[in-house]
Amino acid sequence: MTVHPTTDAGERTRPARALAYPVSRFARLAGVEVHHEVHGDPPAPALLLSHHFYGSTRTWRHLTADLARDHLVAAFDRPGFGLTERPRHPWNGVAAPYRRATAARIGWELLDHLDVDEAVLVGSSAGGTNVLEMYAQRPDRVRALVLISPAITGDVGPPAPIRPLMRTGPLRAVGPRVVRRLTGRVDVARVSRGWFDSSRATAADAEPYQRMLQVDGWDRGLWEAVCAERPPDLRGVLRTIHVPTLVVAGDHDSVIAADLSRRTAAAIPDARFRLIERCGHTPQEERPGELVTAIRSFLGDLGDRADH
């Protein structure tokens, strides 16, 4: 019988597939078993959704049904998050699974897996980093970009100079224990800390974050994700973007200030900027209706451009 480790809350961790949702799918992409969801039917125009740091496919759940009325909507968990596999060092032949370039490659391989040639890429916070990396890899396959409070420089990891040290054997051994201690209790109050109005959050909003902490190796994967490489600096990529782009921000974002997102939009040729009022860092959770309206309006204009 396999014995699984326990979380700090005393719960046994389990294989990701044992924690799958009814809509869950798994596919081996870039050498990693990747958890994802697909909504809608081809040949509808495709949207690929990439979650924020510590998020997952389920943190998009308020948007998918509405967007899937007119689009094929795919969302995936990047390595280190959600129900995607956490490879163990030395990775067993998988090349750098926790690096941003690998996450971008996974996004493209997922679209290949779904027989999608061109897609609108939608990314929130660190997911914005991810879709910008995807754009840099294959700009010819990007129909448009939607960047929700995108992380352009820096991330939530430790300072760049000490990250190589964190990848050494001794610290890799103790790292998961550090992660468990720092993570602590994940409840509604903690999950909604970045919201404008935390009283709107419910147990359903905390559930995806809590489920992630039940996956075998979640602590090891999170350690690897935060120390895998230097923080990103995508300012140079912004100037190269030549597809329609929408940048969205909450007016009370305490993680990436709305003014920073406004500057991001200004750096991208012809990008639009949309501010969502009374909203924090993750409008897909706190103000999904307003976010869907903004995205659908933007996508509708894309259709009008194609018609002309």
Residues of the chain where predicted confidence (pLDDT) is lower than 50: 1-10, 308
Per-residue pLDDT of 85-112, as tens digits, reads 999 988 876 779 999 999 999 999 999 9
83, amino acid identity: L
Instruction: Tell me the two tokens of residue 258.
Output: 């709305």
pTM for this predicted structure: 0.94
Report how far residue 142's alpha carbon sits from residue 140's, in angstroms, rounded to the nearest whole number. Answer: 6
CB atoms < 10 A from the CB of 297, how many? 12
Instruction: Tell me the two tokens of residue 43.
Output: 């040949």
pLDDT of residue 2: 36
pLDDT of residue 42: 84
Closest CA to 36 of 72, 83, 79: 83
pLDDT of residue 221: 96
Closest CA to 110 of 208, 1, 29: 29
- According to DSSP, the β-strands at 245-250 and 272-276 are parallel
Respond yes or no on whether the N-terminal peptide bond of residue 288 is cis (omega within 30° of 0). no
Phi/psi at 57 (5° precision): -55, -35
HEC-encoded secondary structure of 193-207: CCCCCHHHCCHHHHH
Q: What is residue 157's three-state secondary structure?
A: coil
Report how far residue 36's alpha carbon sits from residue 168's, in angstroms, rounded to the nearest whole number. Answer: 31
Report how far residue 287's alpha carbon sits from residue 219's, in angstroms, rounded to the nearest whole number. Answer: 30
For residue 76, the surrounding DSSP H or E stretch is strand 72-76
Q: Which domains does the chain have, with CATH numbers?
A: 16-302 (3.40.50.1820)
Residue given tokens 């140079």 in the structure block: 236
The burial class, CB within 10 Å (0-12 / 13-18 / 19+), for 236 is exposed
The burial class, CB within 10 Å (0-12 / 13-18 / 19+), for 223 is buried
Beta bridge partners of 211: none
pLDDT of residue 304: 60
